[in-house]
Amino acid sequence: MAQKNHAVAPAIFSEKLIIRMIIGTIVGLAVISFFIFRVPHPRPEWGEMWRVRPLIVTPLMGAMCGAGFHVVTCLFYQRGWQRVFGVVLAVLGCIVGMWMGIILGLHGTMWN
């Protein structure tokens, strides 16, 4: 009797997805907190609650970057240069995504 070899790609919705989204959220919160809490005297035209938007938008974008990283690494479940290409693509996507999250969060306040 011949044995069948079935290669199965990892599930896209798994515990790793949640972990990567949480890591992305923490990184986004840390990065935006570095910029926001260093402002000693905010401009009056920004309003009293100017910190709320960046503290919500950037961690959400970090979570989406973590999810994107997970999906790309699952889709490039190969060996050799294809896996390296997938990881490099995912890391570049996360960097660009976090940068866009910072821009969207700080638009109208510190990003003018």
Q: What is the pLDDT of residue 29?
A: 96
Q: What is the pLDDT of residue 6?
A: 57
Quote the domain boundaries for residue 29.
Answer: 15-39+50-106
pLDDT digits (tens, 9 = 90+) for 29-72: 999 999 999 988 888 888 888 899 999 999 999 999 999 888 88
In a domain, 10, yes or no: no
| Per-residue burial over 64-88, b = 16 or more CB atoms within 10 Å of its CB, e = otherwise | bbbbbbbbbbbebeeeeeeeeebee
Q: What is the mean pLDDT of residues 68-95?
A: 81
DSSP string, 38-56: T-SS--GGG-TTTTHHHHH
Q: What is the pTM of this model?
A: 0.80
Q: What is the total residue count of the chain?
A: 112
The encoded tokens of residue 83 equal 């896996």
The encoded tokens of residue 81 equal 């240069």
Number of structural domains in the chain: 1
In a domain, 71, yes or no: yes
In a domain, 79, yes or no: yes
Of 100 and 4, the structure prediction assigns the larger pLDDT to 100
